[in-house]
Amino acid sequence: MATPLRSNRDFRLLWMSGLFAVLGSQMSALALPLLILKETGSAVQAGTVGTVSICAVLITMLPGGVMADRIERRRLMRLCDVGSLIAVAALTVAVWYGRAPMALVLLVATAGAVLNSVYAPAAFGLMRAVVPADQLGTATARLQARTATTRLVGPLVGGALFGVHQALPFTAQFLGLFLSTVCVALVRTRSAARAKAGSVFSRAELTAGLGFLWRLPYLRTVLLVFGLGMNFAFGALTFTALAVFSEGGRSGLGGGFVITCVSAGALAGALLAPRIAPDRHVRPLLVITCWSCVLTAGVLAWLSSPLVAGLLCALCMCLSTVASIGFLSTLLIVTPEDRVGRVQSAASFLSSVVQPFGPLAGGALLTALGSRTAFVATGCVLALSAAVVTFAPSVRAGASPGGSPARSGPGDAPQEAPARPAHDTAGRPGTP
C-alpha cells in the first residue's frame, strides 16, 4: 500500500518549498511595479517589468524543459535556488540603500523568469518520482490549493509590507527563497536525467515536447482549444468585466470584486477536486467548463451587475481548476519519464503564449464596439471552443488509442511543479 501523502516526507518538503517560494514571488510581483512607480512616476516603466518577465519566460521555456531532462532534477533545482537567492539578495540590498536603478530591477526580473523556466520542469520531473500514481489527483489538488491561497494572500501582505518600508517585501521574498532552498536540499528522492544526446538548443530537442503533444490527437486538441482558445477568450472576458465594472477607472470596487472572485474560484476548485476524482472525468469537466464560460459571456452582455459577474466568473474558474487538474494528471501519466520536462514546458508554453493578448483584445473590443458587443463577440469565440471540445472525436477518444490514459506504476506520477512563478500563468480556464 502506498504511503499517504500526509506521511510522504518528500512531498511535504516540496509542498512547503513551493509555499515559501510562491508566497515570496507574489509579494514581489506587486512590490516591483510599485517600486518603479514610486521612483520614476512612470506607469509605462512600471508596466515594463511585467512585460519583460513574460517575454523572458516565453523565450526560455522550451530550453528549460530540455535542461530538466538532461540534468539530475534535484541538483538542477538547487542550482536555480542559488541563482534566485543571489538575484533577490542584490535587489534587496539595493532597495534598502535607496539605490535600485531600473536596469537592476529589469535584470533581476529577467533572471527570475529565466531561472523559473528551468526550475518548473525540473520540479515537475522530481514530483513524478515522489508521488505514487494512485495519489496523483489528490497531490495535484493540494498543490493547486497552495498556489491559489498564496495568490490571494501574497499581494495583500506584499502591499502592507511595502507601505511600511519599500524594501520589506523583497526581504520577505529572500527569506522565503532561503526556506524553499532548505526544503529542496532536504528532499531525498532523486530523478535521474536521460543520457545526453545532441545540443540542448537543437531544433529536435526544443521541439520534442511539442512533437509529443502533436502526435496524440487528444492532447493536441485540448491544448489548442482549451489551452490556447479558452485562455485567450477568458482573458478578454475578465479584462472587459474589470474595465466595465470599474466604471472606466473611476472606481476600482466592482472590478476588484470580480478579480477577487476569480481567485476565490480557483481556490475553491482546488479544494473541491480531491472529492470528485477529476482525472476520471476529464472530458465532462472540460465540456461543462467551456459552456459555463459561454453562459457567463451571454449573461454579462445583458445584465450589468458586478455581483453576478463575480459569481459567474468564480464558477468558471472553479470548474476550470478542477478540469485542469484532471487534464494535467492525464497529460503526465501518458508522458514518458525521459520527456517529462520537455512536455511540461511545451504544454505551459502553449497555454501561456496567448496570455498577453487576451486583455489587449478585450480592451480593443470594448473601445471599438461597446461593452455589450464585446461580451457577445467574446462569447462567440468561447462557444466555438466549447463546440470543438464537446464534439471533436479526438476529445471523445481520450489520451491513448484505447480511449483511456496509459497506466503507470508507483512512482510514475508527475505533478504540478512546486515552482516559484516569475509571472502568473494560471488563473484562467485552459491553463494546465
Summarised one tens digit per residue, pLDDT across range 204-247 is 788 888 888 888 888 888 888 888 888 888 888 888 887 787 66
Distance of CA 107 to the CA centre of its chain: 22
DSSP 370: -
> CA-to-CA distance for 125 and 39, rounded, in angstroms?
41
Which one of 23-32, 242-251, 309-318 scores highest in mean pLDDT?
309-318
What integer pLDDT is reported at residue 380 of this predicted model? 92
Summarised one tens digit per residue, pLDDT across range 105-125 is 888 888 888 888 888 888 877
Residue with cell 531525498: 188
- Among residues 32, 264, 345, 76, the alpha carbon closest in space to that of 187 is found at 76
pTM: 0.70
Residue 25 sits at the vertex; the CA angle it makes with 78 and 258, to the nearest 5 degrees, is: 145
> CA-to-CA distance for 387 and 193, rounded, in angstroms?
40
pLDDT over threshold 90, residue 417: no
Which one of 29-38, 290-299, 328-337 scores highest in mean pLDDT?
290-299
Q: What is the chain's mean pLDDT, rounded?
A: 79
What integer pLDDT is reported at residue 409 of this predicted model? 34
What integer pLDDT is reported at residue 2 of this predicted model? 63
Contacts of 184-189 with C-beta under 8 Å, sequence gap 24+, read: 184/13, 184/14, 184/17, 184/74, 184/77, 184/78, 184/81, 185/78, 186/13, 187/10, 187/13, 187/14, 187/74, 187/126, 187/130, 188/9, 188/10, 189/10, 189/74, 189/126, 189/129, 189/130
Does residue 106 contact residue 422 with C-beta atoms inside 8 Å? Answer: no
The mean per-residue pLDDT over the stretch 404-429 comes to 36
Sign of CA dihedral 199, 203, 207, 211: negative
Summarised one tens digit per residue, pLDDT across range 380-410 is 999 999 999 999 898 888 765 333 333 333 2
Local confidence band at 139 (pLDDT 50, 70, 90 cut-offs): confident
> CA-to-CA distance for 348 and 286, rounded, in angstroms?
18
pLDDT over threshold 80, residue 171: yes
Distance of CA 80 to the CA centre of its chain: 19
